[in-house]
Structure 1
Amino acid sequence: MTEVSDRPITKGSAGHTPPKQHPASSSEPKVNVEALGEQLLGKWADYRKAARVLAADTRLHKIEGLSHTEHRKRVFEQLKILVEQKAVLRAFPKSLGGENENGGNIAGFEELVTSDPSLQIKAGVQWGLFGSAVMHLGSEEHHKAWLPGIMSLETPGCFAMTEIGHGSDVASIATTATYDEATQEFVINTPFRAAWKEFIGNAAVDGLAAVVFAQLITKGVNHGVHAFYVNLRDPETKEFLPGIGGEDDGIKGGLNGIDNGRLHFDHVRIPRTNLLNRYGDVNEAGEYSSTIESPGRRFFTMLGTLVQGRVSLDGAAVTATKIALKTAIQYATERRQFNASSPTEEEVLLDYQRHQRRLFTRLATTYAASFAHEELLEKFDGVFSGRTDTDADREDLETLAAALKPLSTWHALDTLQECREACGGAGFLAENRFGSLRADLDIYATFEGDNTVLLQLVAKRLLGDYAKEFRNVDFGVLARYAVGQATDLAVNRTGLRQVAQFVADTGLAQKSANALRSEEGQRALLTDRVQSMVAEVGSALRGAPKLPQAKAAALFNAHQNEIIEAAKSHAELLQWEAFTRALAEVQDEGTKKVLTWVRDLFGLSLIEKNLAWYLMNGRLSMQRARTVGDYINRLLTKIRPHALDLVDAFGYGPDQLRTAVSTGAEKIRQDEAAAYFRAQRASGTAPIDEKVLIERKRREAKSKGAAK
C-alpha cells in the first residue's frame, strides 16, 4: 500500500521550517495554554484530571488484535478496577457510598474513551443505564435491595429497552408485562421474534439481571412503557433462568469488548414489587396509579431520566476528536513533503493550505462542541441535582442533548477519518489508533437515540415553540405576519436586498469580509437561517392537526428533510453561541484574539457550507458570498502559528494519546535525514541531480551560441 504522503524522504529534505511560515512572533498574540486548558476542563476540572490519571493506567488500555472473547474478558476485569478506584460511582446516593455528584461523574466517565471505548461503554451499561434506571425509576426500597450489588459489580446487568422491531420507537415496543392479580406477579413476555430485546450490552455473557422495558397491562388496560427489574441468570451456573433465552450478537464493527446480545422472555413471572414505580405503580388489586396523569408526558418523563447516556456520548465523542486532532496536528508540524518553495527544504505538511483546511476547520468545530458540551453538562447537573428540576428545565435538557449528541458523534467520525488520511499510511497503522477509535465510535451515531431521529425530536420542539407564538393571536396579527413574511421573501428573492448590500459593500472585498467576520454579522446569518427554515416548515405544516391522520403524516413526511435540516442548523447555532459565550470568559488578551479567529473560522465554515441556501434565499449577495472562502483562508494563516498551542490545551499527554506519530519520532527521522543531506552538500561529494546537469548543459550551449 503506497500513499503520496509516505514517499521516502528525498534529497531536498531539511530540518528547518520554510521561511514562509513561522511560529508566533513577539508581535503576534500568544495563547496561554495553561489557562485555556483549565477553561476547557470546565466546572468539573478535578474530576476530569483524576479520570485522566486513571485512564493512563496500562491495565485499562485497549490491546489491539485480541479476539472478541479475550477482549470481553479483559474489559470485565477492568470494570473491577473502576470499582476499586470508585471511578464511576459518584452519581449514586451518599448513603450507599456514592457522592450524589452527577456532573462530575459524567465528566470523569467521558475520559475513559481514551483508555478503551469498550470499557467506557460497558461501564456506561452497568452504572449509567442499568444502575441509573434502578436509581431514577425505582423507589428507596429498590435502591436498598439492588443498588449495592450493582455498584459493587456483584450484579452485572443489562438495560433491555431496544427491540429488533422497534429501534428508536420505544413507545411501540411489543414486550408486555401483564399483571396477574391471583399471584400478584407481572408476566413478562415477548410475543414474537421482532419483540426480542436486541443489541443489549452484557446480555450475551455477563448479565445476571436486567431492567426490562415493557408495556404495562393491568385489568385489560395498557398503561404504556414501564421498567421492570428481572433476574436473568443463575449467579452460580451463569445459565439463563426458566423462560428466559438469548443469543450472542458476536463480532461487531467495533466495541468488541462488550458482550452485546439478544434477550427474549416466555411468560416469565416476577413479583409485583419488581416494577420500578417512581412514575407509575400497581397495587395488589391491580389498580394502576401515577403522579403524572398524561400517558404521553409520563412516558417522556421516564425516558428523560435516562438522558445522561446522550450527554455522556456527546462528551466522549468530543474527547475522541481531541485525541485525533492532537495526534494529526502534531504529526503535521513534523512531517515534510515536497520541495514547494525551496530547492533544498521540503514543506511541513501543516504549511499547506489544504492541510490547514482539513484540520483547522475541524479543530474549530471541536472547540465549539467542547464549549457546548460543558453547557449541556451544567444543565444536566442542575436538573439531576434538583437545583433546577422543573418540567421546563427537563424539556430543555432533553432537547439540548438531542441536538448536540448527533453533531458531536458525526463530527467525531468525520474527524477521525480526516485525521487518518492526513497522516497518510502511518494513520492506517493500528499503533496510531485512528481506525480503532473510528470503528468503536461508529455506533455512537445510532445508539442512545439514532442521530436522525433525535434531530427530528429537536425539530418538533422548534415547531412546537413556533406554533405557540401564534396559538392565541387574533387574525389581524396573523395577517400582518403573513404580509411581513411575503414581503421579506419578495425582497430577498427578487434581489432588492442584494442590490442594497452591493451598494453598502462599495465593491470592496475587505469591507465585505469585515461584515462577515463580526460577531453580530455571523449571529445574524446563522440565526436567520434557523428562524427562516423553521418558519417556512411551520407555515407549510400549519393545517396538519386538522387533517386525517394519513394525510397529516404524508404532509409531515413531505417536509421531513427540511425539518431535520432546520434542527441541524439550530444545533450548530447552539454550538456557535456556546463558543461565543466562552470567549467572553477568556481573560488573557492573546488567547482571546486567537480563539476569536477560531470561533470565526467555525462560524464562517458553517456559512460556507450553506452558501447555496444563503444565495437562493437572498441573504448574501454573490459578491459577499465570494469573500467567505477568502477570509477563511486568511484565518487559516493566522491560526497556523498557534495550532500546537490549541491542541496542547486539550491536556492529553502520551499516556492518553498512545499514538506513535505524536511522540516526536517523526521529527527525529526528519532531522536525521536533513543532517545527512546537509553534510553531503557541504562535503561537495553529493551526486549531481540529472536535471541540474541538463540545465547546466543547456546554459553552456546557449552561451556558446551567443558567443558565435
Structure 2
Amino acid sequence: MTQTVSKSARPIPASSVRDDDSAVVDVDALSRALLGKWADIRLQARELAGREELHTPAGLSHTEHRERVMTQLKVLVDTKAVHRAFPKYVGGEDNHGGNVAGFAELVVADPSLQIKAGVQWGLFGSAVLHLGHREHHEKWLPGIMSLEIPGCFAMTETGHGSDVASIATTAEYDVEKEEFIINTPFRAAWKDYIGNGAVYGKAAVVFAHLITKGVDHGVHAFYVELRDDNGFLPGVGGEDDGVKGGLNGIDNGRLHFSNVRIPRTNLLNKYGDVAADGTYTSSIESPGRRFFTMIGTLVQGRVSLDGAAVAASKMALKTAIQYGTERRQFNGASDIREEVLMDYQQHQRRLLPRLATTFAASFAHDELLQKFDDVFSGAHDTDADRQDLETLAAALKSLSTWHALDTLQECREATGGAGFLSENRFTALRADLDIYATFEGDNTVLLQLVAKRLLADYAKEFAGADFGVLARYAVGQATDRTMHRTGLRQIVQAFADTGSEKKSAVALRDPKTQRDLLTDRVGTMVAEVAGALKAARGLPKDKGAAVFNANQHALIEAAHAHAELLQWEAFTRGLERIEDAGTRQVMTWVRDLFGLSLIEKNLGWYLMNGRLSAQRARTLGPYINRLLAKIRPHAVDLVDSFGYGPEHLRSKIASGEEKARQDEAMEYQRLLRASGAAPVDEKILIQRKKQAAKAKR
C-alpha cells in the first residue's frame, strides 16, 4: 500500500508560497475544493439533511425516536436518496462514490437516521448486491430499496465482535431437502447489536459457517426471513438491546436461530456455491483469501463512517469557532471591553489544531472515496486495489472517528455551559458518534490490520534479494542506529541549526522537512517491529504469539503514525486544487499547523531517536503559536467553507444570538457610563485613597 496509495505528495516548495499576512480566504473557492468530485450530490444531500422532517427534537423516548426515524427512511425512499449505489437494472444509478458522498451528509440531520439508512441500504442491501448474483438482486433488491423489506446485517455475535472468522452460527446443508439449516448453538452465538433486529427487520443477511458433506467451508452469507406481520417466524427468536448510550433511533436487538430452514438458493453465492447434491465450489481456492475477499466487499461501511465523522467534526468546529469569535470573557487588556475567546492563545490551541486535522481528514476522505469508487465501478479493481482500499479505509476510519469524538468533546468544553445544553447538539452528537469508534471494526483492531499490511510491504522489499543487498541494508541500519544512539545526528543538526531561531523555524516550515520527519518515524517504527518479530520465526505457535503480543503496542503505534502521514500527504495534494493565491497561503499555514502539531505531539520520539536537536525542538512550540496567530483572523472564513448553514447546525450559540447579547451588554455599559450614574468601583476608591495619602506625604 505504501507504494500505490502513499505516493509522494509533491509538496509545494516553501519558496513558492507567499508568507503574506494580508492574505484572505475565498470561502466559495475553498468550499468547492472541499466538496470534491461529487459536489452536486453532496449539495443535494445537504439540502435534504436541512429539511425539518429529517430532524429529531430532543427529549423523545427511544420508542418515539425509533418510530420517527422509520418514517424518515421513507422520506429518503421518496426522494430517491437511496438508489445511487444499486444496479441500473433494478432502478439504481451504479454510482458508488456518489452514494457514499451523499450518505455521509445524513449525519447532519440525525446520526440515528444515517446509521439506520446505512443498515438498510449500506449493509443489508450491499451484502445482497455484492455477495449475491443477479437473480438475488432482481428478487430482493427492489423490496430492499423501497423499504418493503426492512432488513438486518447479522454478522456480529455476542461472543465474537471483530473476529468474524470465529463466529459460531452454522448453516448446515441438508441434501435430501436441498435446504440449509441455520443454528446459533449457544447463547454467545446469538447475533447481537443488530440494527432493525429488535422491531422492524423482516429479513437478514446472516453470516454463518457453511457446512456441507461434513466439511466446514468457512463463513458465508445467507438470506434469511425473520418476521411476518405476526412477529418472528418459527425457529427465529430475539430480544431488544434496549436503551443505548446513543443512536436510540435504531432498534438494535439480538437474534437467534434454532433449526431454521432456508432454500439452497438463499446462499449468497458469488464467492462460494453448493450444488443440489451438496458439492461445494468456489472461484477462490484458498479459504482464507475467499473469506477476506467476501468481507472486503463490505468496506463501504468504513468509508461511509470516515466521511460522516469528518462532517460531524466540521459542524462542531463551525459552532465552537463562531461562538468563540462572539463570546467575550475577562478584560485583562482593557478596563471597559472584555476579550473575545478566540483571541486567547490557549483557546486557539484548543480549536485551531483540531480544525487543521479536520481539513486533513476531509482531503484524505475525498481520496478514499475516489479509491472506493474506482474499485466498485470496476475502473481499477485488481486484488491489489482492493487490498489498498481495505487498508486505507481501516486507517482513515480509525483516525477520523477518534478525531470526531475528541473534537466534539473539546468544542463542548470550549463553549462552557452553553455547550452542555442539548439545544447546541454537542452532547447528543458526542453520544451518537461514540459507537463509531468500535463498529464497522474496532479502531484498535483496524489499526492492527493496517500494521500487518505495513509489515507485509516491508517484507516484500527484500523478497528474493541477494546476500549483497541484505548485507548493505544491514550495514545501513547499523550505521543509522549508531548515528542516533551516539548523538552524531544530533550534533550534525545542532551545528546546522546554529544561528538564528528563525532559521530553525523556517526549516520546520518546509514541507519537505515535515514529510521527511513524518515518513522517517513510520519507517523506523515498522523496521524496529519487523526486526523484533523476526525472533518469532520458527517458534512454536504459542511462543510466536507471545512475541507478537509483546510488540503489539509498537505495531499499532506505527499504523497510527502511517495513517497520520496519509492525511498529511492528502492535505498537501489538496493544496494543489486551490487556485486562489490568498486561500492557498492560508491553507498552507493550516497544513503546516497540522504537520507541526503531529511532530509536537510525538516530540519525545523525535528527540529520543535523534531526529530533532533540542535547539530545533525548542523552536517548535513558539512557531506553532505564531501560526495560530496568523490563522486566527481567518478562522470564521475557514469554518464557513464547510458549507453548513443554520438548518444544518441547529445550534443557538452559532446563530448570532451570542453576538446580540454581547452587543447589548456593551451598549448597556456605554450608556451607563455616559449617563454619569454608574456606581464607582470599590477598587478605584481604594486606589484614590492611596494616591491621596501618598500626595500628603
| TM-score > 0.5 by shorter chain | yes
Matched residue, 1:99: 93
- Long gaps (5+) in structure 1: 1-24
Say which SS state the counterpart of residue 198 (structure 2) adopts.
coil
Quote how far apart the aligned CAs of 1:509 are: 1.5
| 2:325 paired residue among 330, 333, 355 | 333
SS in 1 for 2:534: coil
* CA deviation string 1:104-135 (max 9, x = no partner): 11001111101100000000000000000000
- Corresponding residue of 1:206: 200
**Equivalent residues in 2 for 1:619-638 (5 A)?**
619-638=611-630
State the secondary structure of the residue aligned to 1:159.
strand
Partner of 1:8: none
Q: How far did 1:659 drift?
A: 0.4
Q: CA deviation at 1:311?
A: 0.1
Report what 1:61 is aligned to: 55
> Which among 141, 150, 155 is matched to residue 149 of structure 2?
155
* Residues 282-338 of structure 1, C-alpha deviations (whole Å, 9 max, x = no match): 000101111111111111110111000000000000000000000000000000000
Deviation string 1:627-655 (CA, Å, 9 cap, x unpaired) is 11111000000000000000000000000
Q: Contact 2:535–2:547 at 8 Å: present in 1 too?
A: no
Q: How many Å separate the matches in 1 of 2:601 and 2:676?
A: 53
SS of the aligned residue for 2:232 comes to: coil
Runs of 4+ in 1 over 3 A off after TM superposition: none
Indicate whether 1:434 and 2:426 are aligned. yes
2:211 maps to which of 213, 217, 226: 217
Alignment pair present for 1:502 and 2:494: yes
In the alignment, what sits opposite 2:313?
Answer: 321
Secondary structure of the structure 1 residue equivalent to 2:249: coil
Determine which of 292, 296, 306 is the counterpart of 1:304: 296
| 2:646 corresponding residue in structure 1 | 654
Contact 2:21–2:630 under 8 Å retained in 1 = no
Answering whether residue 686 of structure 2 is matched by residue 694 of structure 1, we say yes
Q: Which residue of 1 aligns with 2:656?
A: 664
Pick from 380, 389, 395: which aligns with 1:397? 389
- Cα distance, 1:26 vs. partner? 10
Classify the secondary structure of the residue corresponding to 1:293. coil
**Matched residue type, 2:58:** E
Give the distance between the partners of 1:391 and 1:26, measured in 2 at CA.
Answer: 47
Match of 2:30 in 1: 36
User: Letter of the aligned partner of 2:397 in structure 1?
Assistant: K
Residue of structure 2 equivalent to 1:20: none
3-state SS, counterpart of residue 224 of structure 1: strand
What whole-Å deviation, never above 9, does each CA across 1:322-360 have from its counterpart, x for those lacking one? Answer: 000000000000000001111111000000000000000
Give the Cα separation in 2 of the matches to 1:620 and 1:39.
34
| Distance (whole Å) between structure 2 residues aligned to residue 417 and residue 207 of structure 1 | 34
> Which residue identity lines up with residue 103 of structure 1 in the other structure?
G
Residue type of the alignment partner of 1:109 = F
1:593 partner letter:
Q
2:337 matched to 1:373? no
| In structure 1, C-alpha distance between the alignment counterparts of 2:190 and 2:620, rounded to whole Å | 52
Tell me the secondary structure at the aligned position of residue 199 of structure 1. strand
| Residue 27 (structure 1) shift | 6.5
Q: Secondary structure at the match of 1:415?
A: helix
**What is the distance in 2 between the residues matched to 1:543 and 1:465?**
19
Instruction: Note if contact 2:310-2:362 (Cα within 8 Å) is conserved in structure 1.
Output: yes
- Matched residue, 1:443: 435
Encode CA deviations 1:512-548: one digit per residue, 9 max, x unaligned. Answer: 1111111000000000000000001011112424221
Q: TM-score, normalised by structure 1?
A: 0.95
Q: 1:607 aligns with which of 591, 599, 606?
A: 599
2:20 touches 2:585 (CA, 8 Å); kept in 1?
no
Is the aligned partner of 1:572 residue 2:551?
no
Aligned partner (choices 67, 76, 84) of residue 82 of structure 1 = 76
Bigger mean CA deviation after superposition, 538-547 or 560-569: 538-547
From 502, 525, 533, the equivalent of 1:541 is 533
Q: Deviations over 1:124-156 (max 9, x none)?
A: 000000000000100111011111110000000
Confirm or deny that 1:129 pairs with 2:123. yes
Report the TM-score when normalising by structure 2. 0.97
Instruction: Give SS of 1:263's match.
Output: strand
Letter in 2 for 1:689: D
Which of 101, 110, 118 is 2:112 aligned to?
118
CA distance in 2, matches of 1:595, 1:278: 46
CA shift in 2, pair 1:603/1:27, >3 Å: closer
Residue type at the aligned position of 1:247: E
Summarize the alignment of residues 200-599 of structure 1 with structure 2, pairs less than 5 Å apart.
200-234=194-228, 236-237=229-230, 239-599=231-591
Per the TM alignment, residue 184 of structure 1 is displaced from its structure 2 partner at its CA by: 0.5
Equivalent-residue separation in structure 1 for 2:187 and 2:449 (angstroms):
28
Q: Which amino acid aligns with 1:461?
A: R
Partner residue, 1:21 = none
CA distance in structure 2 between the aligned counterparts of 1:423 and 1:360, rounded to whole angstroms: 14
- Name the counterpart of 2:182: 188
| Residue in structure 1 matched with residue 135 of structure 2 by the alignment | 141
Distance in 2 of aligned mates of 1:652 and 1:46: 15
Aligned length: 679
Structure 2: how far apart are the matches of 1:249 and 1:31?
48
Equivalent residue number for residue 5 of structure 1: none
Distance 2:536 2:209 in 1: 29
User: 1:6 aligns to what?
Assistant: none
Helix, strand or coil at the partner of 1:532 = helix
Deviation at 1:470, TM superposition (A): 1.4
The one-letter code sitting in structure 2 at the alignment partner of 1:676 is Y
Q: Deviation string for 1:588-643 (max 9, x for gaps)? A: 10000000000000000000000010011110111111111111000000000000
| Structure 1: distance between partners of 2:372 and 2:45 | 19
* Paired amino acid for 1:181: V
Q: Distance in 2 between matches of 1:494 and 1:684?
A: 72
Q: More displaced, 469-478 or 481-490?
A: 469-478
One-letter identity of the residue aligned with 1:91:
A
Letter in 1 for 2:383: D
Residue 172 of structure 2 aligns to a residue in which SS? strand
Q: Cα distance, 1:474 vs. partner?
A: 2.1
1:680 to 672, 679, 688: 672
The whole-number CA distance in structure 1 between the counterparts of 2:77 and 2:538 is 55
* 2:5 equivalent in structure 1: none
- Equivalent pairs: percent with the same residue? 74
Q: Deviations for 1:548-584, whole angstroms, at most 9, x for unmatched residues? A: 1111111100000000000000000000000000012
Paired with 1:556 and 1:517, the residues of 2 have a C-alpha distance of 38
Unaligned runs of 5+ in 2: 1-18
Deviation at 1:508, TM superposition (A): 2.1
Q: Are residues 1:173 and 2:167 paired?
A: yes
Relative to structure 2, which stretch is displaced further, 337-346 or 473-482? 473-482
| Residue of 613, 617, 642 corresponding to 2:634 | 642
Relative to structure 1, the CA distance from residue 398 to residue 687 in structure 2 (aligned partners, 3 Å threshold; closer, same or farther) is: same
Q: Residues of 1 paired with 2:662 and 2:460: CA distance?
A: 63
